[in-house]
Amino acid sequence: MITRSADVNSVRKLLQKTARPLALVPTMGALHEGHLQLLRAARAKVGPQGTVAISIFVNPIQFDKASDLENYPQPIEEDLALCEAEGVDLAFTPERESLYQSDHSVIVQESLLTRHLCGASRTGHFDGVLTIVLKLFNILQPDFAIFGQKDFQQLALIHRMVRDLNLPVSVIGHPTVRAADGLALSSRNSRLQAHERADAARIRRALLAARDLRTSGEQNPQIYLNAARHHLLIDCPESFSIDYLELVDAETLQLVPTVTKPSFLATACFYGGVRLIDHIAL
């Protein structure tokens, strides 16, 4: 395992001796069952003779709030123990200084798929995401990269970056992993108060209730949005609020005038300072 390596060149030299194919699971740590399923999918993709790699790096330039960065959990020893138990071949946990020079001035920006959803709600967030993912692709040179579909806008942006910049990596989306009550697994869930965690399944229930309207052939986006908003807010705790609730085209991620082709109903919600996202396909 490569841990806390400040020398990117030494990483590249080691990778020249690494068995191929190589599948990368990029993470910010605080690993949970969702991450472990990504690692298992990576192993299934490359087989016992291939290499499964994970990156663990809390990327500072994708946080739009300093407090969110400061509060992000970083249990690195526990994470590495989980990686070892899962048979991960390579764990890359670089220091910030090895990835960002003090005067760094180049970032990756996307101009279409970021107009709505988290792209509009979190200014600069996806600039940071795309920049770090491109760095990881350049350093580790994976054949495959596995990402969770919970962050579907992120996944769409990475697909677009790979396409537009002709990157030699195959990006694979893995279905959202959920708790028994339907809440999408997230490292942020651990920051919820007990009563908030007990309530948080309302997000999934609201999306499911709105999706049920499609059985009647409903095509008005506002009807879906109104239904989801009603279920999100009914008898909600005081700490709960909606950041955004939008219905977008599944391919372009632009707002749709009518629901006549595959679309996503997506939301971001707060419990106090903890932000959770989820979506559902229509």
The residues annotated as belonging to the active site are: 35
- Identify the bridge partners of residue 247 per DSSP, sorted by sequence position: 265
Q: Peptide bond before 21: cis, by omega within 30 degrees of 0? A: yes
Contact 24/92 with Cβ under 8 angstroms? no
Name which of 61, 60, 80 is nearest 3 in CA terms. Answer: 80
Sheet holding 22-27, edge to edge: 2-3, 90-93, 51-56, 22-27, 144-148, 170-174
Contact 28/56 with Cβ under 8 angstroms? yes
> What is the C-alpha to C-alpha distance for residues 27 and 75, in angstroms, rounded to an integer?
13
Q: Dihedral of CA 88/90/92/93: which sign?
A: positive
